[in-house]
Amino acid sequence: MALGIAWERQDEIAIAILRGRIDGSTTERLQDSLESGMAPEDRALILDFEQVSYINSSGLRVGLRIAKHCRKTGRKFGICNLTDATRDIVAISGFDQVIPVFESRNRALNQVSSG
């Protein structure tokens, strides 16, 4: 399954809704889409993983690059709605110790909206 990305915005928070697989064949497109999809007024970016069936180490690296990009531009960042399969990969890799991970989109929105 190819990678799909849909965008939503809520109160200057960009939400990228990802669908499909995040692997070596899709990471370049993912990074380009995430960087170009953020508007100058966005103060946060949330990646919604509810429809992501798989992520590998190259996908996690994109997540780290985007997190650094957000930090450098003063934006908050987080991921939410991990499936069981993606949650295991994120936990085993230690990615959840570096990037904020939220159980739901509402929790992510509440957290990045505060402060």
Quote the Cα angle for 13-33-71, to 5°. 50
Q: Quick one: pLDDT at residue 5? A: 96
> Which residue range is the domain that position 108 belongs to?
4-113
Q: What integer is the mean pLDDT of 91-107? A: 94
Closest CA to 37 of 58, 8, 62, 57: 8
Q: Name the percent of the chain lying above pLDDT 90.
A: 94
CATH assignment of the domain containing 83:
3.30.750.24
* Dihedral sign computed on CA atoms, order 95, 101, 104, 108: negative
Confidence class for position 113, pLDDT limits 50, 70, 90: confident
Q: Quick one: pLDDT at residue 115? A: 55
Q: Tens digits of per-residue pLDDT, 41-95?
A: 999 999 999 999 999 999 999 999 999 999 999 999 999 999 998 999 999 999 9
Domain count, the chain: 1
